[in-house]
Every structure is written in C-alpha cells, then in structure tokens.
Amino acid sequence: MWCVPHPKKPNHTLVLLDTEGLGDVEKGDKTNDSHISVLALLLCSTFVYNTMNKIDQGAIDLLHYVTELSHLLRIDTSPNLNRVDDAADFVRICPNLVWTLRDFYLGLEANGQLITADEYLENSLRPKQGTNQHLQNFNLPRLCIQKFFPVKKCFIFDLPTHQKKLAQLETLHNDDLDPKFVQQVAEFCSYIFSHSKTKTLSGGIKASGSHLENLVQTYVNAINSGDLPCMESEVLTLAQIKNLAAVQKAIAHYDQKMGQKLQLPTETFQELLDLHRASEKEAIEVFMKNSFKDEDQGYQKKLEMQLAAKQNDFHERNLEASQNRCSALLQDIFHPLEENVKQGVYSKPGGHCLFIQQRDELKAKYNQEPRKGIQAEEALQKYLESKESMSVTILQTDLALTAMEKEMEGITEEFIKAEAQRLMESLMQHQQMMESRKIFHQEQVRLMETNRVYQEALQQRAMERQLQEEVKKLKEKLQAENRKLHDELQNLLRNDSPDDTCLLL
C-alpha cells in the first residue's frame, strides 16, 4: 500500500493497493487470493486488472473468478439478504474496472478497421450467439464481467524498451524508455487521476484516512475470523469508533477550556454556570465536527450526560474550594481577636463594647478579601455562631464589672440606667444580628434547594432520553422479528403450492 498526495485533487490522498498478482504458484494458497481480492473490491474505487500481451480466455476466467467472490460478501445486516447473490446488489459496491495490457503486440483492428483499446475490450467480452454447452461456457464469464463492472476502460502498453534492456528496467530513466510507452503511461495516469472517484461508503459518505484505517482493520478481522464482510455492519462499526473518539475529543476540549478559564472558587454560582455552558457549547461543536452517522443522536446524548456529570463535579469542587478558602481567611483574620480574649483584654467595664467594635472591624476586613466564593457569607455566619458563647461571656463579665464599679464609685442611678440602656441596646442589636443571620441562612437553603432541583431536572432529562432510546430500539427489534415471522410464513405458504418448472436458455 502506498499513500501519496493526489496530484490533481487538493486535500485528497491517492492510495495504491497492490494485490501482488492472483494465481501466483509460489503462494500455493487460493484462499489467500480470495481474501486479497475481497479486500481490493471493498476498499478501492478503481480496480486495475493487469495482464500480459492480450486478452485471452485465461485472463477472462481469472477476472471471472474475482466476480464470483460475491458469495464472500454481504451488503447489509438484513437476515433475508445474507449474501450478495444478485449482480445488481454487488454493483453497488463494485469499483470501476481498468484493464491494462502490458507488452501488447497485436494490431488494434477488427474486420479491417482500426479500433480503440476500449473497443478491443468490448469485443473481447462480447458473448457469442448460440445455446450449446461450449458457447454457454464461453459466454458465462463475459456476461458476469459485463454485469459486475458496468464501467470499463482499457489501456495497452508496448514494450517499455529494447529487449536487451528489460533486465535493467528498474534503473532506467524516462529518456531510456520507448517514447510511445512513456506516452501510454502518461495517458493511463491522467485517466486514473481524473476519473477515479473518491471512495464512498454506504450512505454516500466520503472516506477519510481514518475511515480507511478502521475499515481495513474491521474487514481483515472479519475475514480472518471466518465471518462474511458486511458493508453495513462495518460502517456501523466505523461509526461507533468515530463517535466514541468524537465524544472523548469533545470531553477533552471541555476539560481544557474549563481548566484554562475556571478559577476556583467562583464568586457566584452563575459565574460557574456561564463558564460551563460556554465550554459545553464548544464541546458539542467539536463532537458535531468529528462525529460520524450519529443519526439517532445517541452519542451526543451520552456526551451531554457526561458533561452534566462534570458540571456537578465542578459544583462540588467549587463549594469545597470556597469553604477551604474562607476557613483559612477566618482563622487568619480573627486570630488576634481570639488571642485578646484569652489574655483577658475585654474582661473590664466597657470590654464588650470594645470586643464588638474590633470584631466588626475584622468582619469588614474579611468581607474585603477577594475570591472567597459562594460560601463566603455562610462560612462567616457559622464562625460567628461558633464564637457566640464567647461574646455572651464577655457581655456578662462587662455587666458585672460595670455594676460593681458604679456601686463602688457611687455613680448616680441615672448613669446606671443609661449604662443599662446601652447594654440593652447592645443586646437588641445582637438579637437583630441573629435574626439577620437566620434570614440569610434561610436564603442559602433556598438557593441550595433551587440548585438541587436544577440538577435533578438535568438527570431526569438524561434518564428520559436514555429510556426513549431503549424503547425505540425495542420497537425496532420487535418490528424486525415481526417481519422475519411474516417472511417465514410467506415462504411456508409458497412451499406448499405446486412448484412451477422454468427453463432458462
């Protein structure tokens, strides 16, 4: 096999497959010839049949043997069409025929008139009139070749050089070759370059390099395992391979985009959702560009389910990253306040007011820190709640010490009332703060519930799509079994009727 850029068609590759000759006595294995010929018929768009000197009965019989390989092929997976028994079916996959005659020595004429190489080929394949067994044996291979290769072309080649130089043919330059032979080769190459069509698979799909690679592997595996190569099933296998690769490529693209743009934690859930949707859209575009015959969108649905799972994973990682970031910030920012409490800085009259003042300053510092993520407020509230007993202890100490101090100093009742009022206001502010925390917590619970419902809806849609696909496949299977039973019934009815005798002449 040789693969070279097509000299006349941009973005095309010319693939040359050499069967190394049929009927080689050194091989001693006719099965090997059959397998190679089947591969050639399945893979090529132009079948070049290379013979020597002239078109004789031996060359025709050998090409007829190639057409008889139809019993080794299947067009589709239908149980009633397991083999290609009809020429019309085989022609759908059969390539064009180019018959080349090397070292041609005959004159191109018939009935005293000059004829072309194509006319010589048609004359050689023309059946004779008559019904005896000898003529039937003569006509059969010619009729088969005509049916299986409706498009035919013939080229003749003179000796490339003088008889004495043939032994060094591989080392000769074009200048050393017969000019007529060089011209004949140029005409042959020009025809191949301009008339050989792009290899087309079932459904009119143009084959690419990766398609050819996968087809060769599946055909060879089928032949080696003793199965009949099936055009339809191999295309389906190719579609499975390509679509699985397309899904993986789309997932890789999604991971790459998310890895490049996502910085955890995000400030809001919407920020993560917008980035996911943008990356998801690009991933689906990558899949559509690389997918192959995903007619029921089964692989696209699998991709969407995997992307939904990845979104859930990113959401959990976002929550975890935000929680870790906030915990570290709270520990660092409020550490001085906790140290002051341990050292008794606030254990004095008016100490609670000083504690609240410094705590609020640290809260403001925490709120100014960037990239805390969606857990920022909840983490702060949980931290403050965990330290609430400390605030109450400071307040109680403050009240006790203040009352004792005022009593000892003989402070007037009005001053004591004012101080009590201040403390009461402080308690009310504390209660209001607790109420605000409660409202915030309820809002966080509502947001989390909304996100949970959203995720469940995504999973529900994915499950419904999968269920619809399974129902569809079950219906198709039942319909196929009904058709099979109907066909078997019809066959039984026909077998019960008297046989008609038909003589073909």
Q: Which of 186, 214, 455 is nearest to 313 (CA)?
A: 455
The residue behind tokens 């309820």 is 442
Q: How far apart are CA 289 and CA 307, in angstroms?
A: 17
Other Cβ atoms closer than 10 A to 142: 18
Residue-level length of the chain: 505
Is residue 291 within 8 Å of 299, Cβ to Cβ? Answer: yes
In the chain, the domains with their CATH numbers are: 2-201 (3.40.50.300), 230-470 (1.20.1000.10)
Q: For residue 252, what pLDDT band results from cuts at 50, 70 and 90?
A: very high
Tens digits of per-residue pLDDT, 347-386?
A: 888 888 888 898 999 989 989 988 888 888 899 899 888 8
For 369-412, where are the alpha helices, taking DSSP H only?
376-386, 388-409
Q: Is 109 helix (H, G, I), strand (E, B) or coil?
A: strand
Helix (H) or strand (E) holding 30: helix 30-43
Which tens digits make up the pLDDT trace of 123-162? 999 998 888 888 888 888 898 888 888 889 999 998 888 7
Most confident option among 104-108, 229-233, 238-242, 350-354 = 350-354
Element (H, E) at 486: helix 413-496
Determine the average pLDDT of the residues in 432-452: 84
Whether this model's pTM surpasses 0.75: no
| Residue-averaged pLDDT of the chain | 81
Residues 72-93 pLDDT 10s: 555 444 444 444 444 455 566 6
DSSP H/E element including 113:
strand 113-114
CA R_g for the chain = 43
The fraction of the chain above a pLDDT of 70, given in percent, is 84
- Which helix (H) or strand (E) is 50 found in, with range? strand 46-52
Query: Residue 273, class by beta-carbon neighbours within 10 Å (0-12 exposed, 13-18 middle, 19+ buried)?
Result: middle
Q: Which pLDDT score is estimated for 251?
A: 94
Where do we find the tokens 């080696």? 224
Q: Which two tokens stand for residue 234?
A: 């191999």
- Higher pLDDT: 207 or 110? It is 110
Q: Which residue would you say has higher pLDDT here, 272 or 488?
A: 272
pLDDT given at position 401: 81
